[in-house]
């Protein structure tokens, strides 16, 4: 079986990032001081998971979040492989949200377990009962994950009737189903926020133009 396209992209990206030195301000965190590369930071999570993950979450910049995501990528792969209803992008989207919004003050221990359990709960809590109207999809951008179930169902059906290519469907899913901001979704997909906005805009217009067909498909 071919690797998931998001997994291929993230692994290619990490091959480049692993040798990059951490930003200078990371040395303010004692757990990260002395690390020569992002790959070394990732390796140090095995030795002191809560301490290193907490340091990365306190920093909270995109490179720090990316290291945390890489540390949990194996879990996301295994979880999605066992799930017939949700794929890797679903789990990665929820993980990214959890990393960005993690309350370290309330949950300072078992951080990796908390992040993965929270992501699993959010993925499995979806109840795709009512699809979002295609003409209203564009109004959901950057509003958070509240309307995710209906948007996810609409996108699933749009793929089935071949109204969306794979790249556009993944972009729309992260923004409209998972509630990621365009900048966050762009980081996951390896593109720029401007390019992602343009892709989403074109795809939403295409769905709206075929609203009648989609309503029939999801009815």
DSSP 15-30: HHHTTSPPPGGGGGST
Examine the domain organization and report whether 114 and 145 are in the same domain: no
Task: Report the CATH number at residue 165.
Answer: 1.10.10
- pLDDT value, residue 176: 83
The verdict on 152 and 198 lying in the same domain is yes
The domain tally of the chain equals: 2
The verdict on 117 and 17 lying in the same domain is yes
Q: What does the pLDDT read at residue 139?
A: 59
Residues 141 and 139: their CA atoms lie apart, in Å, by 6
Asked whether residue 129 is assigned to any structural domain, the reply reads no
What gap in Å lies between CA 176 and CA 141, rounded to an integer?
Answer: 6
94 and 172 housed in the same domain: no
Radius of gyration for the chain, computed over Cα atoms and rounded to the nearest angstrom:
18
CB 87 within 8 A of CB 168: no
This prediction's pTM: 0.67
For tokens 């923004």, the residue is 175
pLDDT tens for the chain, 219 residues: list them.
677 888 999 999 999 999 999 999 999 999 999 999 999 999 999 999 999 999 999 999 999 999 999 999 999 999 998 887 788 998 999 999 999 999 999 999 999 999 999 998 888 776 555 566 666 676 555 444 445 667 777 888 888 888 889 889 989 888 888 778 888 888 888 899 999 999 998 998 888 888 877 776 654
Residue 27: the pLDDT is 94
Domain stop point among 77, 102, 124: 124
Q: How much is the pLDDT for 84?
A: 75
Q: Is 105 inside a domain boundary? A: yes
Domain boundary among 93, 124, 155: 124
Check residue 107 and give its pLDDT. Answer: 95
Give the residue numbers spanning the domain of 32: 5-124
Confidence (pLDDT) at 142: 45
* End-of-domain residue from the set 102, 124, 146: 124
154 and 113, same domain (yes or no): no
Residues 56 and 94 in one domain: yes
Q: Are residues 151 and 185 in the same domain?
A: yes
Rounded CA gap, 142 and 181, in Å?
5
Do 11 and 116 lie in one domain? The reply is yes
């Amino acid at each position: 079986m071919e690797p998931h396209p998001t997994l291929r992209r993230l692994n290619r990206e990490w091959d480049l990032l692993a040798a990059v030195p951490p930003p200078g301000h990371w040395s303010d965190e004692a757990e990260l001081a002395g690390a020569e590369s992002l790959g070394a930071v990732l390796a140090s999570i095995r030795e002191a998971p809560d301490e290193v993950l907490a340091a990365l979450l306190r920093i909270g910049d995109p490179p720090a979040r990316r290291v945390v995501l890489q540390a949990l990528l194996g879990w996301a792969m295994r979880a999605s492989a066992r799930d017939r209803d949700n794929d890797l992008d679903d789990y990665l989207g929820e993980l990214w949200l959890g990393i960005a919004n993690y309350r370290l003050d309330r949950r300072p221990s078992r951080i990796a377990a908390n992040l993965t359990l929270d992501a699993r709960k959010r993925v499995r809590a979806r109840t795709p009962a009512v699809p979002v109207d295609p003409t209203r999809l564009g109004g959901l951008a950057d509003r958070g994950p509240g309307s995710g179930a209906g948007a996810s169902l609409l996108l699933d059906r749009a793929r089935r009737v071949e109204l969306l290519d794979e790249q556009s469907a993944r972009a729309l899913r992260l923004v409209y189903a998972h509630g990621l901001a365009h900048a966050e979704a762009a980081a996951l997909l390896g593109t720029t926020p401007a390019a992602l906005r343009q892709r989403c805009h074109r795809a939403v217009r295409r769905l709206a133009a075929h609203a009648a067909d989609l309503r029939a498909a999801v009815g």
